[in-house]
A and B are shown apart, each in its own frame.
Chain A
C-alpha cells in the first residue's frame, strides 16, 4: 500500500497569512494526488485534483504542486473560512490512501 505522510499535523496561522502543507508518498504516484478540505461535522470538499488542477468553484487562493513523491498545498491570504482540516489523497492505485490530515487553526 502507498503511505501518505502530511506535515505538519497542525498549523497555527493568522488571517492574511500564506501557508504551505506538504504531502509525501511512500512511492511515486506521478500526479495522482488530490487535496480535500474538511470542516467539523461536514463532508470533505474537493479542492485540487491531478496535483495542481483546481476544482470548479474553488478560489485561486488555493494552489497545488508536485509530482512523483512530494507535493504541496498552498493557501494564500488566509480568511476565517479557510481554517479547517486538510487531507491529501493518492489515487494512483488501490487501496486509495489519505494523509493523516493537517489541522489549520487560527493563531
Chain B
C-alpha cells in the first residue's frame, strides 16, 4: 500500500525558514517523480514543485522560485522541501504527491508574526 507522510510544518515568522519532509513507502520510490502541492486556507490547489526520479529535472512555480528548494534522498525514501524567506502568503497545507495518483495527508505551514 502506497503511503506518503508529510512532516515538518509549523508556525514560523515572516522571513523564516522551514524544511518539510515526505516519507514514502509501499512503492519503489527511486523510480518515480514527485511533486509538492499546497492549499491556502479556504482556497484551491496550487502546484509548487516537481522533481524527477533521479533529481535531474526540477521545476518550481514562479511564486516560490528562488526561495524554495525541492530535493530527495532515494536511499531514505524521502522527499524534501526547503522553504526560505517565507511570506504570509506561503501559509497553506503542503501535500506531497506521487504522480498525483496518491497524496499524503498534508502538513500545515503557518507564516505569521
Contacts and interface: CB of A to CB of B under 8 A. Distances in A.
Interface residues of A, number: 20
B49 to A, nearest CB: 10
Instruction: Point out which of B46, B62, B95, B103 has the most chain A C-beta atoms below 10 A from its C-beta.
Output: B103
B59 interface: yes
Interface residues of B, number: 18
Interface in B57-113: 59, 61-62, 95, 100-106
B82 to A, nearest CB: 19
A87 interface: yes
Among A94, A99, A100, which residue has the most Cβ atoms of chain B within 10 A?
Answer: A94
Contacts of B50: 94, 96
Interface of A: 34, 36, 38, 43-46, 49, 55, 87, 89, 91, 94-101
